[in-house]
């Protein structure tokens, strides 16, 4: 058989996707079969054992070196291991999301600022929650759900359609629609806000056609959608973050809504709003750098 160059990727996908899906299902099942603490510990061990050896770790080393130029090589390496430990734990905790009772005083999550969720739920307006890929970021949306506030969440759909159902199954404990990134997703976001819903967004990833906004002292291409929608609908924007305090235990902090300035210059207002968002994200990340996903290619080389 003679393969056209354009046909090779399709053939590879047809061969590799079932294998990838099978591995994902096996891992998901194995983590689900273990108690939560054991699953988290195993995921952390796998992450910090395998992750630093992967090629993508090089990007994390570069990013951390630029963000913390005063750190020694061994300190950077420890942050990278911590990042992979956190990522492995987050993946292993995925099948157990419904076990996190966020507002149970004796539970695994301590919450500060829960009243800010109540305010959004009762104000009769659409609203936006935002966070970043910090600690176990999935629990932020779960916290809103368990306080009676469904969130329509923006997410990146899996390239492998056979894995997509795992994403949706893991997030089944969170109420609200899953909205994929892209042009069709953007229309759904606007529709969601028009109907008075609330959105959950992770806003720390690179967007090639975004706008340059300072982040760790350098311009980073940043998606402006959060600011565009907040200014257009005059809706509150609430920051929320997770902190892993040890094993599968966390602190969730929900801040009061940010105040965005409106000067009449829309483009300047959007950039200023996203600069405010990036500054807050940077503050969070600097406090616990090992809990952020440094493999993002956030800055041009």
Q: In this predicted model, what pLDDT tens digit does every residue of 50-92 receive, in sequence order?
A: 999 999 999 999 999 999 999 999 999 999 999 999 999 999 9
H/E element, 277: helix 266-287
H/E element, 300: none
Write the burial class of residue 252 (CB in 10 Å: 0-12 exposed, 13-18 middle, 19+ buried).
buried
pTM (two decimals): 0.89
φ/ψ (deg, to 5) at 9: -60, -40
For position 162, what pLDDT does the model report? 65
Interhelix angle 73-93/36-50, rounded to 10 degrees, is: 140
Confidence class of residue 13 from pLDDT cuts 50, 70 and 90?
A: low
For position 15, what pLDDT does the model report? 63
Instruction: Please name every residue paired with 242 in a beta bridge, in sequence order, or none if there are none.
Output: 252
For position 3, what pLDDT does the model report? 37
φ/ψ (deg, to 5) at 129: -95, 140
For position 193, what pLDDT does the model report? 93
Interhelix angle 266-287/225-233, rounded to 10 degrees, is: 120
> What does DSSP assign to residue 292?
B
For position 156, what pLDDT does the model report? 74
Helix/strand/coil for 139: helix
Helix/strand/coil for 25: helix
Confidence class of residue 6 from pLDDT cuts 50, 70 and 90?
A: very low
Confidence class of residue 164 from pLDDT cuts 50, 70 and 90?
A: low
Instruction: Looking at 135-182, list the stretches that DSSP marks H as alpha helix, in order from N- to C-terminal side.
Output: 138-145, 161-170
Please state, rounded to an integer, the average pLDDT across all residues of the chain: 89
For position 18, what pLDDT does the model report? 73
């Amino acid at each position: 058989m003679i393969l056209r160059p354009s046909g090779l990727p399709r053939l590879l996908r047809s061969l590799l996707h079932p294998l990838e899906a099978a591995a994902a299902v096996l891992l998901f099942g194995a983590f689900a079969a273990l108690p939560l603490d054991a699953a988290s510990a195993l995921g952390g061990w796998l992450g910090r054992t395998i992750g630093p050896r992967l090629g993508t770790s090089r990007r994390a080393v570069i990013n951390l070196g630029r963000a913390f130029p005063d750190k020694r090589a061994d300190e950077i390496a420890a942050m990278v291991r911590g990042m992979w430990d956190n990522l492995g734990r987050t993946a292993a905790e995925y099948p157990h999301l419904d076990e996190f009772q966020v507002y149970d005083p004796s539970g695994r999550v301590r919450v500060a600022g829960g009243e800010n969720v109540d305010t959004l739920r009762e104000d009769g307006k659409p609203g936006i929650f935002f966070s970043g890929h910090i600690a176990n970021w999935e629990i932020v949306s779960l916290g809103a759900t368990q306080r009676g506030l469904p969130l329509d969440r923006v997410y990146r759909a899996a390239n492998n359609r056979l894995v997509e159902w795992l994403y949706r199954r893991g997030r089944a404990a969170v109420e609200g629609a899953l909205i994929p990134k892209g042009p069709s997703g953007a229309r759904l976001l606007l529709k969601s806000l028009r109907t008075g819903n609330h959105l959950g967004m992770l806003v720390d990833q690179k967007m090639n056609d975004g706008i340059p906004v300072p982040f760790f002292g350098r311009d980073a291409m940043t998606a402006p959608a959060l600011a565009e929608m907040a200014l257009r609908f005059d809706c509150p924007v609430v920051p929320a973050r997770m902190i892993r305090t040890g094993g599968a235990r966390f602190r969730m902090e929900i801040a009061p809504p940010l105040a965005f300035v409106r000067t009449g210059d829309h483009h300047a207002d959007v950039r200023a709003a996203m600069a405010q968002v990036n500054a807050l994200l940077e503050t969070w990340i600097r406090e616990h750098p090992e809990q952020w996903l440094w493999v993002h290619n956030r800055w041009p080389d």
